[in-house]
Structure 1
Amino acid sequence: MDLITPEFGLVFWTAITFLCLLFILRKFAWKPILGAVEERESGIKNALASAEEARKEMENLTADNERILKEARAERETLLKEARDIKNKMIEDAKGEAQEQANKLIQQAQAAIESEKKAAMAELKNHVAGLSLEIAEKVVRNELSNKDKQLELVKTMLGEKSLTEA
């Protein structure tokens, strides 16, 4: 028997054994193997689809986060601008009120100064009038102490009186 040249019986029984093995594998093993492969393939497809959905969802979430951040920044800027405007308005109001108070105080001080000035002028006039009366009294006493001077003064006054009436 030569192993290099097979005989017909050996080829026949090898082919029948191979066909039987093929039939048995097809009947019992082929379907479960193909089912497992198909199941794995569908699992991979589902995993890829889920991964794609998760990626799209992440993109949507990222876009939403960006939009929310932009809105928050815009709102922050709006609030800061409003706060600056309120601060500036409060400062302007305080300046205006301080200016009004200063003007009132200046007016009150000017009125007080004017009042004091009038009072001082009145007091000075009264004092000058009193001094003038004292001086006039002393001059008249001096003039009237002498009889000749009294007569001369009376004549002068009478002369002035008649001149002014004429």
Structure 2
Amino acid sequence: MELLTPNPGLVFWTTLTFILLLLVLRKYALPSIMRALKVREETISFALEDAKRAREEVEHLEQKKNKVLEDARKERDAILAEARELKNRIIEEAQAAAREEGRKLMEKVNADIKKQKEEALFEIRDAIGQLSLEIAEKVLKEELADREKQKKVINTYLNQMNLN
């Protein structure tokens, strides 16, 4: 039981040692500990400021990124609109050129048809003329084969001429 009962000499020397230890720690260790704590506090403060600046810079970069993305979207939309407009213009020009080419082709075809029609009519007239001459020649040969018929035909023509 001796361990549980305090000995006054032991209490005195323990208290004295403890107070001396506190004084030595206060004189030598406490300033170092306080400096270390102050340095730690400043380091944490600087780290917090750096973190705040980094956060602000990240926000600024995020805003800048968003602005660049928005500008890129606008530029993309403008390019697409211009491409659509160019496509429509090219289609319209191609359609106009095709219409003009079709019109010219129709004019040429109509002119060719008219020319071929005229040539065909000329050939038909020529053929009719040739046939008429051949028929007339055969009729005249038959009519004028006899001397009496020749005189009769000549008199008929002469009478018609006198009357006119």
Matched pairs, number: 158
Q: What is the alpha-carbon distance in structure 2 between the residues aligned to residue 153 and residue 126 of structure 1?
A: 28
What per-residue deviation string (whole Å, max 9, x for no partner) do you get for residues 121-160 of structure 1?
1111111011111111222222222333322222222222
Q: How far 1:75 sits from its partner (Å)?
A: 1.3
CA root-mean-square deviation? 2.7
- Normalising to structure 1: TM-score of the pair? 0.79
1:98 counterpart residue number: 98
Q: What is the alpha-carbon distance in structure 2 between the residues aligned to residue 117 and residue 102 of structure 1?
A: 22
What per-residue deviation string (whole Å, max 9, x for no partner) do you get for residues 76-120 of structure 1?
122222222222222222222222222222222222222221111
3-state DSSP class of the match of 1:25? helix
Query: Percent identity at matched positions?
Result: 39
Listed as ranges, the gaps of 5+ residues in structure 1 are: none
Q: What is the alpha-carbon distance in structure 1 between the residues aligned to residue 73 and residue 107 of structure 2?
A: 50
**Is 1:85 the counterpart of 2:85 in the alignment?**
yes
2:37 counterpart residue number: 37
Listed as ranges, the gaps of 5+ residues in structure 2 are: none
- Normalising to structure 2: TM-score of the pair? 0.80
2:130 counterpart residue number: 130
* TM superposition outliers: structure 1 runs of 4+ over 3 Å: 20-26
What amino acid does structure 2 have at the position aligned with 1:128? Answer: I
